[in-house]
Chains A and B, each alone.
Chain A
Amino acid sequence: MMEEIVYQRSKYLRPMLTYYCAGCQHGIVSKILVELAEEMNIVNNLAICYGIGCYVAGTMNLDLDMFPALHGRACAVATGFKRMRPNQLVITYQGDGDCASIGLGDTLQAAARGENFTTIMVNNQNYGCTGGQLAPTTPIGMVTNTSPYGRSVEAQGYPIRMAELVANLDGCRYAARGALTTPAQIRQAKKYVRRALELQQQGHGYTFVELLSACPSTYKVPFDKVKAFQEEHVYPVFPTGVFKEE
């Protein structure tokens, strides 16, 4: 009997070690992107604009067309790119520090203008790249390197829920939030990204997908406790689902 391959690494992921920490789920986002590019047959028609964060070094193993933007400016750069090449599919790949903090203005303005591209915001609840500081998306009570006693409302205020915020804007046509820990969540997250890209192909306007990713290095929990940690701290603050589709 011949053995058949059920699942193998996509050929658009270069055969190299990624620079992410062990257990980081940015790698799953890369995987979702290359698999969708292959399945939707858009490899030659896809441009990814990435901001600044852990994924800058990490995306080096993606064999797709990519270009960088300054920290937080991915939506602004992608706007220019998309307007010059309206037939090309454009994704901005941003972290929560990039998209919801320094780039909050750019993101919301692009959504309000209804620019026809897709933003993927990978929400790992901290600034991973610079060493695990508090981000606008850190849930109340979560310990980071700059909130050693846990985020408190008096000192740091409340976290921002980006998917709901963007969904409020008229220019936004699709806003969803997925997670990346369990197999079911990963399959669902992939569906969200696929839907966003399909709407972009139809020229519907701004589409936004937020993906909750684990950062075991900042959580400071062992890998088998990551799921429990997220259930306790992350999912109550960030419900998953589709918030807008039109």
Chain B
Amino acid sequence: MGRIVVDRSVCKGCGYCIQFCPKHVLHMGEQRNTSGYGNHCPDMLEGTECVACATCAIVCPDSAITVYR
């Protein structure tokens, strides 16, 4: 069981992590980023299981994601 933490101060809300997550664990969350871009930040969906493959972190251009297992 994995978990991701998004650093909202560097996330720009491009959503590449959501697009490429093989388990479809992520969606655009309610919270906005604090970086001034005003976009929403990704968040984990209820009832899905993250396998901590780190794909989201690899495709993140802003290195905003930390992955835990």
Query: Measuring CB to CB, which residues of chain A are less than 8 angstroms from any residue of chain B?
Result: 3-10, 13, 15-18, 20-28, 30-31, 181-183, 186-187, 216, 223-224, 227
Contacts and interface: CB of A to CB of B under 8 A. Distances in A.
Contact of B35 (A3, A5, A17): A17
A27 B61 contact: yes
B55 interface: yes
Given A3-B69, A6-B69, A16-B10, A27 B52 contact: no
A30 B60 CA distance: 11
A76 B10 CA distance: 34
Interface of B: 2-3, 7, 9-10, 12-16, 19-20, 35-37, 39, 52, 54-55, 57-69
Given A9-B66, A223-B15, A28 B61 contact: yes
A24 B42 CA distance: 17
Task: Return the 10 tightest CB-CB contacts between A and B, nearest first.
Answer: A27-B61, A22-B12, A23-B14, A7-B54, A7-B67, A6-B67, A7-B57, A9-B63, A22-B14, A8-B66
Given A182-B20, A223-B14, A25 B61 contact: yes
